[in-house]
Chains A and B, each alone.
Chain A
């Protein structure tokens, strides 16, 4: 799972109000190179929760993203390249996602988060 997807996931246990962003416990992270495409990044930039991405990237060992959401990201190529790396090239292979409200752990195995809920959580 890449961080672009992590930025779209939330914990949907019944009654949970703030199930986003899920904290990452990383055991194994891999990198796969992807061709740089600034147009796609500009489009996605609007949908990304910046703080969640910065925190997620940091938990995968990548700390190059600026703390605050950059105002002029669309024109800043060096920033877009960092965004590209964080969103599309880092893969969480093994570990867990943790609900910020309940502490419930969702395991990530072979890159697949298991977000299935137990019967009493639905």
Chain B
């Protein structure tokens, strides 16, 4: 009997759960698919410090560890995961344990207790943020609502995260972000462009309820193009929609 190859991503049957913790869903799967699509690049990237902000069930951070593991054993990389929901932090540790992998999990708002010491140090950040457009008062409520309530255009938490991510990322740092088309991802790309980042669409997926777009950002300090692009947000938005439609065309072929 041949031995089964080790799993490359988290096994859904081994993901722990709690009624107040968001379960892996289409958005989580799309983010992990983006990481899988970028697996070779990630291995060559050779990160020392990887982090998930808003780890929920632990499905994504566990998958990231597993898909880097064949070439980058656990003792090559330090993994951190944060969540504002203490129950989610606990469920994540259970999911990690069930897969026999190691990450340190911290209960904090975004990454606030890590920002000072980790500035400029994190090589990979993955985020599946609370992106659902909701009334503003629902943002930051306790329990499972913190996993999805995103305020106006679903952007309240995302917009608070971007400067934090910018501060934490190392010079070679990469950032993967789940968005909906109703979050105006072109605006998010423009905000990151103004901070000196290039972007690309990793995954686009339409489900019954959502149009998901998974974005990847990395530093690209080309001052000239930065000035040109940032000068007109209208032309930037049309560039984004061109990228999105050409990505969707490629996908259909």
Contact = CB atoms under 8 A, between A and B. Distances in A.
Interface of A: 1-2, 4-5, 7-12, 19-20, 32, 34-37, 39-40, 43-44, 47, 49, 88, 110-117, 122
23 contacts: A1-B106, A4-B78, A5-B106, A8-B118, A10-B113, A10-B117, A11-B113, A12-B115, A20-B116, A34-B74, A37-B73, A39-B76, A40-B78, A110-B90, A111-B105, A112-B105, A112-B107, A113-B107, A114-B107, A116-B86, A116-B108, A117-B109, A117-B112
B48 A40 contact: yes
Given A1-B105, A5-B106, A10-B114, 12 more contacts: A1-B104, A9-B114, A10-B116, A34-B74, A36-B75, A47-B121, A111-B104, A113-B106, A114-B107, A115-B108, A115-B112, A122-B109
Q: Which of A19, A32, A112, A113 has the most CB of B within 10 A?
A: A112
Nearest to B76: A40
Contacts, number: 84
A43 B90 CA distance: 30
B79 to A, nearest CB: 10
A96 to B, nearest CB: 13
Nearest to B109: A116
B16 interface: no
B93 interface: yes
Binding site of B, secondary structure by majority: helix, strand, loop or mixed?
Answer: mixed
- Give chain B's interface residue range (CB within 8 Å of chain A): 20 to 34
B63 interface: no
B128 interface: no
B140 to A, nearest CB: 10
Interface of B: 48, 73-78, 80, 84, 86, 89-90, 93, 102, 104-109, 112-118, 121
B48 A44 contact: yes
A122 B109 CA distance: 10
Nearest to B94: A110
Nearest to B79: A5
Nearest to B77: A40
